[in-house]
Amino acid sequence: MKTDPGLQPTRDIRERISREHGNDPRRLVEYYMEFQRRFAERLRPPPGREGAAEQADAADRPTAGR
Half-sphere exposure of 13 (CA within 13 A, CB side): 5
Q: What is the CA radius of gyration of the chain?
A: 20
- The tens digit of pLDDT for each residue in 8-64 reads 999 999 999 999 999 999 999 999 999 999 999 888 887 886 655 555 555 555 655
Judge whether residue 2 has pLDDT over 80. no
Cα(29)–Cα(35) distance, rounded to whole angstroms? 10
Of 17, 9, 15, 51, nearest to 34 by C-alpha is 17
Q: How many residues does the chain have?
A: 66
Exposed e or buried b for every residue in 18-33, given b needs 16+ CB within 10 A? eeebeeeeeebeeeee
